[in-house]
Amino acid sequence: MGLGERYNVNPIIFGSIYVGAIPFFTASIAWLVRNLRRRRSIVAPVLSASFFFVSAYLYLVVVGRDIPLWVYFFVGAMVVFGVFSTLKKIRGQLKEGGEEKEGNGTQ
């Protein structure tokens, strides 16, 4: 809590945004996968997923004051790792869905 006061960031608000965004991020990824399978536009689900993924960090950047530079590098690294992790998850879901469709169609 002391660090929150020092940097003008309320840890309760940060944590609430971080945890509260999880179901919306998950729903956005499901929407994205569904649109990819149906060959529809993925712009809206990508924007939605991206917003919910970085929402807590946006709070940190917008309201934080005198935050050390290393924190921004750390947040950037987390975002890059999260992007790669999410892409891997999406590819896995697409592969699973494709195999199920192929398996049902060939039997």
Over the stretch 45-97, which tens digit does the pLDDT of each residue have? 999 999 999 999 999 999 999 999 999 999 999 999 999 999 999 999 998 87
Q: Distance between CA 42 and CA 29 in Å, rounded?
A: 10
Residue 44 or residue 106, greater confidence: 44
Q: Distance between CA 42 and CA 58 in Å, rounded?
A: 23
Residue 105 has pLDDT above 60, yes or no: no
Q: Distance between CA 71 and CA 52 in Å, rounded?
A: 20
pTM of structure? 0.81
pLDDT score recorded for residue 62: 95
Percentage of the chain surpassing pLDDT 90? 80
The domain locations on the chain are: 2-106
Residue 100 has pLDDT above 90, yes or no: no
